[in-house]
């Protein structure tokens, strides 16, 4: 066994440039693969951050249509409902349209009760609840724009015209890496009072209700009960679990996700072709050596092991380096893409997939050369020209 | 003295499996490069062909999409009365007040939800879009709960086929016709009577006002009028410009993603070409020595190997473009981030994309061949001839 390993290592060192370059190719491919998988994960980040005890009730037509605020009181009466809060998409612009981050008008006390993963200090929480024009922002968002508690933040409304100013009263941290730390929350009351003053038809309406239920197993039954209550009303509702709601968003752009997934497979095939070529070249050069080994009595399994071992070693070195490099590169991407993807984190499954892919490439790349060696008889091999 | 092209070509053909493996690697990179370009081109074309230059779109100031905009009846009446609005031969003003809403519909089969655009309009609104015809059935009757569905919607969404019905606004709406909207974005919309939609969705306001310009030069007059009339809080855009702008975010995203991927992927493929070409030089050391001894200068050797790697690159390029051209029959349907609405478009291959792809492939080949070719050209004649 030790002899075999030494032989493989020696073989590997004979073509340092070629094998080094091939390993480099594997590094590039694995980094690209890892980043693409992470991008797909980032697409599903909203789904990852959901809880089974939260339902979302929205207008059955689409999210473009709001629901009357008084629906909340009726939802609260349904058996199994513990807390009802609501959320309204604001869609404002901070200084420049490029500075995108999600902004929501909420009912603060009930919302924070439902989203316990948003960690706020008691003092800041109280300050946020107290100030009608107060705002609560995620840690990453605050860092991105260098805000401090007490800062005035103006937002230019696109759905609700005009300039709206908020005072930053609190910063929340996520309980774990799955929590989105780029959101901006403020009091729905503030929005509603202004809309009432304008005599807008949009006053007294909210984007969606967030319904906290117990036990979570009754989600389907409670959802149906909520929707039945509003059937044939002016604004029929559609209630689903928070996860189903978030998945709906992913489905809407799933064609793009599919493209990214396909492309992440393509890079693996590309590097497979590169490694297969390298192995084919090495084996061709060593045709006579393999014939000699065969003549000495080494079985085809031994020869196959030598070739597969060499290919695996090249791909494993490249794969290990690639996985190690994926982390710092992904961290850099996470900072640059935080506008678009609040969570960009290399998951364990990505690492496992990347490791699996590099091993698979090693084995598959050796298949063709091994077959060639198996096929070649001793005499043919010995008589071949180098 | 030049080494004939045939020498380079024959050498590639002689080492068939190595050439094939390297070309496959290059081809796959070109395939990714070309398909992403085709995707953004398809999206761009769809939205560019949707709008006409001689139509003007009026939206509430500051709104970037029709669904964000709302114009009250008074303002829309003022706009409809503009003298710049063209007249039809029979004297009707070519202006359409429209309502646009999004509705979640389940896709056929998968039941996955998507936001579909419902456009309420008038007979004039149809006339303003001559590129949209009826493929099947008949138009909706004004004042009725009838709708017509775009060709991209009818097949893909539950309840949107001819004879089927959709439920919204406490009513059943029957699909009486299918639109043939060519490659425009209107193929991803459902059309109905604007006043019926306003009732159903309880909207007093319109989303946008669209009118035909009397003369192309009148556009500036419209803008001036909007800027000076204190009653109006709206802005005007040419319909063509408006729709073209709606492809910007997606096109940028696809282009950035595609170019980043192509550059990174090309590293792997170039390494493949590099290995192949180093191999070619190493196995032909004596041959190179012989060529030099016969009197071919270093430059000729350099060019011969560069030609060989360019040919290798081009082979991959042609293969990749062929693979990508097969994508033209595929229609992609996804949500446009700027409008939140489902939009269907196809991978579109243009001569420019073919040219760019081949150029990209050639560059990869040359990059892979440069160092090995230089090594070949620098070889000492005697050492090369003596090599084993």
- Do B62 and A267 make contact, defined as CB atoms within 8 angstroms? no
The model's pLDDT over B64-121, given as tens digits with 9 standing for 90+, comes to 889 888 899 999 999 999 999 999 999 999 999 999 999 999 999 888 889 999 999 9
Backbone angles phi, psi at B230, to 5 degrees: -70, -15
Report the distance separating Cα B202 and Cα A234, nearest Å.
9
- State how beta strands B331-336 and B341-346 pair: antiparallel
**Is A251's CB within 8 Å of B112's CB?**
yes
ipTM of the complex: 0.88
**pLDDT range class, residue B5, cuts 50, 70, 90:** confident
Q: What angle do CA A366, A371, A376 make, to 5 degrees?
A: 130
Of B24, B60, B333, which has the smallest distance from its Cβ to A273's Cβ? B24
The pLDDT of residue A376 is above 90: no
Collect all residues of chain A within an 8 Å Cβ-Cβ radius of residue B31. Answer: 266
Exposed / middle / buried, residue A269 (Cβ in 10 Å: 0-12, 13-18, 19+): middle
Record the pTM: 0.89
pLDDT value at residue A2? 80
What would you measure as the largest C-alpha separation in chain A, in angstroms?
Answer: 97
Note whether A266 contacts B31, CB cutoff 8 Å: yes
Question: Phi and psi for A297 in degrees, rounded to 5?
Answer: 110, 5
In the three-class reduction of DSSP (H, G, I as helix; E, B as strand; rest coil), residue A208 is classed as: strand
- Residues from chain A that touch B334, judged by Cβ atoms under 8 A, are 252-256
CB-based contact B334 A254, cutoff 8 Å: yes
* pLDDT level of residue A378 (50, 70, 90 thresholds): confident
The neighbouring-strand residues paired with B210 are: B57, B96
The pLDDT tens digits for B10-33 are 889 888 889 999 999 999 999 999
Residue A161 to residue B60, Cβ atoms within 8 A = yes
Backbone angles phi, psi at A242, to 5 degrees: -55, -35
Q: How far apart are the first and last CA of chain A?
A: 28
Alpha carbons B140 and B160: distance in angstroms, whole number: 14
Residues of A in contact with B335 (CB under 8 A): 252-253
Query: Model confidence at A98, in pLDDT bands (50, 70, 90)?
Result: confident
pLDDT at B388 over 80: no
Q: What is the pLDDT of residues B171-220, one digit of tens each?
A: 999 999 999 998 899 999 999 999 999 999 988 999 999 999 999 999 99
- Contact: A274, B268; criterion CB under 8 Å: yes
Q: Which helix (H) or strand (E) holds A322?
A: helix A300-336
The pLDDT value recorded for residue B386 is 86
In contact, B104 and B155? CB cutoff 8 Å:
no
Residue of B nearest to A263 (CA): B32
Helices (H), B51-193: 73-80, 123-127, 151-154
Interface test with B, best of A22, A200, A208, A273 (most B CBs within 10 A): A273
The Cβ of residue B32 has, within 10 Å, a number of other Cβ atoms equal to 25
Identify the residue among B26, B27, B28 best suited for mutation to test binding to A, counting A beta carbons within 10 A and taking the highest.
B28
Q: How do residues A280-299 score in pLDDT, each as one tens digit? A: 999 988 888 888 888 888 88
Residues of B in contact with A60 (CB under 8 A): 104
- Comparing CB atoms, the residue among B29, B62, B201 nearest residue A270 is B29
Tell me if A273 and B25 make a contact (CB, 8 A cut-off): yes
A vs B, Cβ pairs < 8 A, gives: 139
CA distance, residue A343 to nearest chain B CA (Å): 18
CB B294 within 8 A of CB B7: no
Segment holding B106, helix H or strand E: strand B95-106
The DSSP annotation for A43-78 comes to HTHHHHT--TTEEEEEESS-TTS-EETTHHHHHHTS
Closest-CA residue to A180 (of A48, A374, A1, A69) = A48
- What distance in Å separates the CA atoms of residue B150 and residue B161, rounded to the nearest whole number? 10
Contact A28 B264 (CB under 8 A): yes
Nearest Cβ partner of B21 from A159, A267, A280?
A280
Instruction: Report the run of H or E that residue A91 belongs to, with start and end.
Output: none
Q: Which residues of B touch A29 (CB under 8 A)?
A: 268
> pLDDT at residue B387 above 80?
no
For the segment A244-269, what is each residue's pLDDT rounded down to a tens digit? 999 998 998 888 899 999 999 999 99
Identify the closest residue of chain A to B200 by CA–CA distance.
A234
> Tokens 């579909």 correspond to what residue?
B116
Q: Could you tell me the two tokens for A247?
A: 């998945």
Residues 6+ apart with CB under 8 A from A331: none
Q: Is the pLDDT of residue A386 over 60?
A: no
CA distance A254 to chain B (A): 7
């Amino acid at each position: 066994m030790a002899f075999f390993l030494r032989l493989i290592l020696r073989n590997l060192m004979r073509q340092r440039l070629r094998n080094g370059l091939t390993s480099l190719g594997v590094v590039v491919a694995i980094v690209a693969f890892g980043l693409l998988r992470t991008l797909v994960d980032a697409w599903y980040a909203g789904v990852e951050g959901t809880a089974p005890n939260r339902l979302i009730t929205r207008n059955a037509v689409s999210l473009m249509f709001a629901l009357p605020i008084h629906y909340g009181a009726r939802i609260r009466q349904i058996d199994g409902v513990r807390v009802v809060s609501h959320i309204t998409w604001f869609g404002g612009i901070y200084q420049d349209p490029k500075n995108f981050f999600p902004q929501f008008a909420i009912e603060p006390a009930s919302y924070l009760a439902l989203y316990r993963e948003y960690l706020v200090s008691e003092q800041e929480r109280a300050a946020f609840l107290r100030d009608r024009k107060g705002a609560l922002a995620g840690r990453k968002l605050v860092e991105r724009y260098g805000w401090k508690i007490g800062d005035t933040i103006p937002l230019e409304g696109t759905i609700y015209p005009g300039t709206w100013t908020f005072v930053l009263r609190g910063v929340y941290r996520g309980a774990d890496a799955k929590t989105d730390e780029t959101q901006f929350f403020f009091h729905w009351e503030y929005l509603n009072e202004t809309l009432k003053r304008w005599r807008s038809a949009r006053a007294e309406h909210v984007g969606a209700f967030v319904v906290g239920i117990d036990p979570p197993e009754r989600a389907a039954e409670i959802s149906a009960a909520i929707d039945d209550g509003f059937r044939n009303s002016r604004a029929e509702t559609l209630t689903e679990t928070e996860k189903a709601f978030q998945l709906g968003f992913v489905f809407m752009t799933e064609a793009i996700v599919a493209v990214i997934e396909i492309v992440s497979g393509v890079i693996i095939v590309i590097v497979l072709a590169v490694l297969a070529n390298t192995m084919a070249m090495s084996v061709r050069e060593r045709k006579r050596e393999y014939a000699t080994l065969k003549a000495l009595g080494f079985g085809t399994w031994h020869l196959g092991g030598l070739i597969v071992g060499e290919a695996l070693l090249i791909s494993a070195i490249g794969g290990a380096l690639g996985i190690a490099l994926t982390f710092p590169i992904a961290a850099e991407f996470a900072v640059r893409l935080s506008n678009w993807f609040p969570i960009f984190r290399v998951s364990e499954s990505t690492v496992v997939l990347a490791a699996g892919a590099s091993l698979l490439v090693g084995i598959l790349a050796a298949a063709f050369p091994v077959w060639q060696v198996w096929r070649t008889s001793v005499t043919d091999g010995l008589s071949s020209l180098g | 003295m030049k080494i004939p092209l045939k020498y380079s070509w024959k050498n590639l053909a002689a080492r068939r499996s190595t050439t094939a493996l390297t070309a496959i690697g290059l081809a796959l990179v070109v395939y990714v490069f070309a398909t992403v370009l085709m995707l953004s081109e398809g999206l761009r074309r769809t939205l560019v062909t949707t709008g006409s230059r001689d139509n003007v779109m009026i939206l509430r100031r500051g709104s970037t999409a029709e669904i964000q905009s709302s114009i009250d009846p008074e303002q829309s009446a003022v706009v409809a009365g503009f003298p710049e609005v063209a007249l039809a031969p029979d004297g009707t003003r070519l202006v359409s007040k429209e309502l646009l809403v999004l509705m979640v519909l389940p896709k056929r089969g998968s039941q996955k939800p998507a936001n579909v655009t419902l456009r309420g309009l008038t007979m004039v609104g149809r006339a303003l879009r001559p590129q949209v015809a009826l493929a099947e059935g008949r138009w909706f009757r004004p004042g009725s709960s009838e709708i017509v569905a775009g060709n991209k919607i009818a097949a893909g969404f539950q309840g949107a086929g001819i004879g089927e019905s959709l439920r919204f606004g406490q009513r059943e709406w029957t699909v009486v016709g299918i639109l043939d909207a060519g490659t425009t974005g209107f193929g991803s919309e459902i059309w109905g009577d604007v006043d019926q939609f306003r009732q159903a969705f309880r909207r007093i306001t319109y989303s946008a006002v669209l009118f035909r310009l009397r003369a192309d030069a009148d556009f500036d007059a419209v803008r001036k009028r909007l800027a000076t009339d204190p009653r109006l809080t709206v802005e005007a855009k040419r319909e063509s410009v408006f729709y073209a702008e709606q492809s910007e975010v997606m096109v940028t995203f696809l282009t950035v993603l595609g170019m980043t991927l192509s550059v990174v992927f090309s590293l792997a493929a170039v390494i493949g070409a590099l290995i192949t070409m180093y191999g070619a030089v190493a196995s032909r050391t004596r041959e190179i020595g012989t060529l030099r001894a016969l009197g071919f200068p270093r430059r000729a050797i350099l060019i011969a190997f560069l030609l060989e790697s360019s040919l290798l690159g081009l082979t991959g390029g042609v293969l990749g473009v062929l693979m990508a051209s097969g994508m033209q029959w595929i229609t992609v349907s996804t949500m446009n981030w700027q409008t939140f609405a489902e939009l269907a478009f196809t991978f579109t291959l243009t001569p420019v994309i073919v040219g760019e792809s081949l150029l990209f492939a050639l560059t990869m080949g040359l990059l892979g061949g440069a160092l090995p070719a230089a090594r070949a050209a620098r070889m000492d004649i005697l050492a090369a001839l003596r090599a084993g």
